[in-house]
A and B are shown apart, each in its own frame.
Chain A
Amino acid sequence: MSARVSTNAPEPAQAMISAKRRIDWLPLLLAPLLMLIAYPLIGSSSTWITLTVAGLAMGMIIFIIASGLTLIFGLMDVFTFANGIFIALGAFVAVSVLGALPQWTGADSLGLNLAALGVAVLAAMLAAGLAGLVFERLLIRRVYGQHLKQILITMGGMVVGEELIKMVWGTQQMELPLPATLSGSLVWGDVAIEKYRLLALLVGLSVFVCVIVVLNRTKVGLLIRAGVQDREMVESLGYRIQRLFIGVFAVGSALAGLGGVMWGLYQQNVTPQMGAQVNVLIFMVIIMGGLGSTSGSFLGAILIGLVANYTGFLMPKVALFSNILLMVAILLWRPQGLYSISSR
């Protein structure tokens, strides 16, 4: 994991070296610090464990949803507000797929349940990825580099997408129940942990590791990062950067679709408006993390999840505004977000 340090070093080469050596540790300490502060306030350790796991799981789910947008923001420099439709699309596809497999989801076997979930996730990601591809070709392709137009076009796309979803699945809220063996919670002594939250933790962590590894350790990742730095240079070396970026957009949309499934299962229901609602949360995560930084949004999402759960227990009235308070606090500390990509 390479942290980006925003130093104003005069020599670029020197800055690169120092960035490599110095990992910015301070933001990493925030989450453990928060847990430590919360412990004496909550008092009972079993409640604390339950809340912490719940917070981490919620953070992971938020991260999955935000990861797609982080890629699109950070790598393509595209400001899209339309991510919400891919989230909602993914969730609705999952509703349809799981609804078509009642024997698998109802069966009392973890394997079949997970298989059903896997099929649903796959279908959701495929649908969202394809929709993203179409979206990029139809709308975004013409407005690369024009930020104001990107915001406007994607807002329009969001409106149209939401209406199309309403056309296919109707305007009503739909149930998205968890498969049989994944609902309920595990109990050790006083500690109760919902099984789905463990699954969410697992999925979130693996998405994070995958994104980081692909970006930092593979040739494709190298090309993408190079393309962000200097598009023309990469093109002149003979790589078709446009295809790469289309791919990034499709993957970003597919991740949003995955996030939609996870969020839908977490809330146990989906609505056509869920995309717009989740969008606000994602934006907060991305602002907090620093635009385009995957590690930053990972940390931001975890902080949001933890703070939401702790304040929900300690001060329920404040919990509704915990997100924005957290965001303000972090921006007062680092106006560019936790990790800012300093190149732009």
Chain B
Amino acid sequence: MISILSGDLPRSRILGTMLIAIVLGLALAPFLFPGAKALNVAAKILIFIVLVASYDLLLGYTGIVSFAHTMFFGIGAYGVAIACVSLGSNWSSILIGTGAAVVLSALLSLLIGMFSLRVRAIFFSMITLAVAFSFQTLASQLSDLTGGEDGLNFSVPDVLSPSYQLFEQPVFDVSVDGKIITYYLVFFITIILFLCMLRIVNSSFGRVLQAIRENAFRAEAIGYNTVIFRTAASVLSAIFATLAGVLLALWLRYNSADTSLSIEIMINILLIVVIGGMGTLYGAICGATMFILAQSYLEDLMAHSASATQNIPLLSTLLSPDRWLLWLGVLFILSVYFLPTGVVGKLRSIKR
């Protein structure tokens, strides 16, 4: 067990319990929480765990802020979508699409890294923002390839499509259809990718990244070429983000610029990493779960409380369901100040 987790244990009883609860909940989600919305939320949590963990590789472990993470996410999603549309819906086209997307992401991140990480960290942030913005424009312009604003609908292999039934009889009152098979595919790929990343950050390579985060000058003095390590980190994180994009496309069987490329997703990733805890991959699990649950159900809750406070003028405006991002932003700022190590860091410090 310890070697599966690469020796990086949660190191807090509460955190450990929480993680086990989350993983069990996600593993049994189709049976525990039936219904299309609940399953969608669970799948979104899984995909965001990969996406956010891959971003944490950059932000939390290496200390660089990138705004192009959704670009790689989008490349992955578009890779599968375009391959499935043009090559037909079978497994080999999914593999080809994934492969092409990974190669493209790796090259692109290598290029951006070599180009801008030589200078200052803020350069990288601003250049990635500019590149990501241009890529979004490009994706909406190349409408022959990407479907433009409408996006791409595509069909997946039969086993994964909702009409496929695995068993004749329902299992625990749930009929195991293609959607649930897709869910478990996403679930297991998420686990594998997460463990891979855990392995990476706990390797000697990961230690060097953390050294660069703490003191780049000293790391350079010890003899590590920081540019190469930073670039490698950004390429790795881009590849994992691409794979998360592949999962998203497989789950939704649809992709457009809004679902995978938008700057809002980028802000969400940033919020999740910080709230969950920078520099620890477990933060991605906690953060993604809390955030996606809040995003999916907070609006309902706020609609409820807004109607309850209808007579109080300012309060009801503040509590209107459209303003949920406001509260999230406030929460984000507060957590940067008061929980600099996020939920995970806080839980770990409680124990001692």
Question: B219 an interface residue at 8 Å Cβ cutoff?
Answer: no
Question: A310 an interface residue at 8 Å Cβ cutoff?
Answer: no
CA distance A167 to B321 in the complex (A): 12
A286 proximity list for chain B (CB < 8 A): 126
The binding surface of chain B is classed by DSSP as helix
Taking the nearest CB of chain A, how far is it from the CB of B271, in angstroms? Answer: 8
Residues B65 and A151 in contact, CB atoms below 8 Å apart: yes
Please name 23 pairs of A and B residues whose Cβ atoms are closer than 8 Å in the assembled complex, sorted by A. Answer: A79-B122, A79-B125, A148-B65, A151-B65, A151-B125, A153-B336, A156-B271, A157-B329, A159-B267, A160-B330, A160-B333, A163-B325, A167-B317, A167-B318, A167-B326, A283-B129, A287-B126, A291-B120, A320-B138, A327-B130, A331-B115, A335-B118, A335-B119
User: Which residues 90-145 of B sit at the A interface, judged by CB distance below 8 A?
Assistant: 115-116, 118-123, 125-127, 129-131, 133-134, 137-138, 141
CA distance A324 to B63 in the complex (A): 25
A134 proximity list for chain B (CB < 8 A): none
A156 proximity list for chain B (CB < 8 A): 271, 329-330, 332-333, 336
User: Which residues 197-255 of A sit at the B interface, judged by CB distance below 8 A?
Assistant: none
Query: Which residue of the partner chain A has the closest CB to B328?
Result: A159
Question: A336 an interface residue at 8 Å Cβ cutoff?
Answer: yes
Taking the nearest CB of chain B, how far is it from the CB of A16, in angstroms? Answer: 23
Taking the nearest CB of chain A, how far is it from the CB of B262, in angstroms? Answer: 11
Question: B322 an interface residue at 8 Å Cβ cutoff?
Answer: yes
CA distance A17 to B263 in the complex (A): 46
Interface size on B, residues (CB 8 A): 40
Question: A147 an interface residue at 8 Å Cβ cutoff?
Answer: yes
Query: Which residue of the partner chain A has the closest CB to B127?
Result: A287
Question: A321 an interface residue at 8 Å Cβ cutoff?
Answer: yes
Question: B167 an interface residue at 8 Å Cβ cutoff?
Answer: no
Residues A291 and B122 in contact, CB atoms below 8 Å apart: yes
The listed residue (B123, B141, B326) touching A320 by CB distance below 8 A is B141
Taking the nearest CB of chain A, how far is it from the CB of B125, in angstroms? Answer: 6
The listed residue (A163, A276, A283) touching B130 by CB distance below 8 A is A283
* Binary per-residue interface labels of chain B (260-278) against chain A in the complex, 1 for a CB within 8 Å, 0 otherwise: 0001000100110010000
Query: Which residue of the partner chain A has the closest CB to B64?
Result: A148
User: Which residues 43-75 of B sit at the A interface, judged by CB distance below 8 A?
Assistant: 63, 65
A155 proximity list for chain B (CB < 8 A): 267, 270, 332
Q: Given A147-B122, A155-B267, A163 and B63 touching (CB < 8 A)? A: no
A321 proximity list for chain B (CB < 8 A): 134, 137-138
CA distance A79 to B121 in the complex (A): 11
Residues A280 and B317 in contact, CB atoms below 8 Å apart: no
Question: A268 an interface residue at 8 Å Cβ cutoff?
Answer: no
Question: B337 an interface residue at 8 Å Cβ cutoff?
Answer: yes
The listed residue (A160, A171, A276, A335) touching B329 by CB distance below 8 A is A160
Question: B323 an interface residue at 8 Å Cβ cutoff?
Answer: yes
The listed residue (B130, B133, B328) touching A287 by CB distance below 8 A is B130
Residues A287 and B63 in contact, CB atoms below 8 Å apart: no
CA distance A331 to B127 in the complex (A): 11
Q: Given A167-B317, A276-B263, A324-B130, A152 and B336 touching (CB < 8 A)? A: yes
Question: A137 an interface residue at 8 Å Cβ cutoff?
Answer: no
B127 proximity list for chain A (CB < 8 A): 287, 327
Question: A164 an interface residue at 8 Å Cβ cutoff?
Answer: yes
Query: Which residue of the partner chain A has the closest CB to B63?
Result: A148
Q: Given A171-B322, A280-B133, A320-B141, A142 and B270 touching (CB < 8 A)? A: no
A160 proximity list for chain B (CB < 8 A): 326, 329-330, 333
Residues A163 and B323 in contact, CB atoms below 8 Å apart: yes
* Binary per-residue interface labels of chain A (99-124) against chain B in the complex, 1 for a CB within 8 Å, 0 otherwise: 00000000000000000000000000
Question: A20 an interface residue at 8 Å Cβ cutoff?
Answer: no
B332 proximity list for chain A (CB < 8 A): 152, 155-156, 159
Q: Given A142-B337, A152-B270, A321-B138, A280 and B326 touching (CB < 8 A)? A: no
CA distance A163 to B319 in the complex (A): 12
CA distance A163 to B333 in the complex (A): 14
Question: A311 an interface residue at 8 Å Cβ cutoff?
Answer: no
A336 proximity list for chain B (CB < 8 A): 119
CA distance A109 to B126 in the complex (A): 44
Taking the nearest CB of chain A, how far is it from the CB of B185, in angstroms? Answer: 34
Beyond A156-B332, A159-B326: 12 further Cβ-contacts under 8 Å? A79-B125, A147-B122, A152-B270, A157-B333, A163-B329, A167-B317, A279-B129, A283-B130, A286-B126, A287-B130, A335-B118, A336-B119
CA distance A163 to B318 in the complex (A): 10
The listed residue (B119, B129, B267) touching A280 by CB distance below 8 A is B129
Among A142, A283, A320: residue with most chain B CB under 10 A: A283
Question: A139 an interface residue at 8 Å Cβ cutoff?
Answer: yes
Of all A-B residue pairs in the complex, the 8 with the closest CB atoms, nearest first, are A159-B329, A163-B326, A160-B329, A156-B333, A156-B332, A283-B126, A324-B134, A280-B133
A284 proximity list for chain B (CB < 8 A): 126, 130
Query: Which residue of the partner chain A has the closest CB to B266?
Result: A155
Query: Which residue of the partner chain A has the closest CB to B334?
Result: A156
User: Which residues 302-327 of B sit at the A interface, judged by CB distance below 8 A?
Assistant: 317-318, 322-323, 325-326
Query: Which residue of the partner chain B has the closest CB to A155?
Result: B270
Question: A269 an interface residue at 8 Å Cβ cutoff?
Answer: no
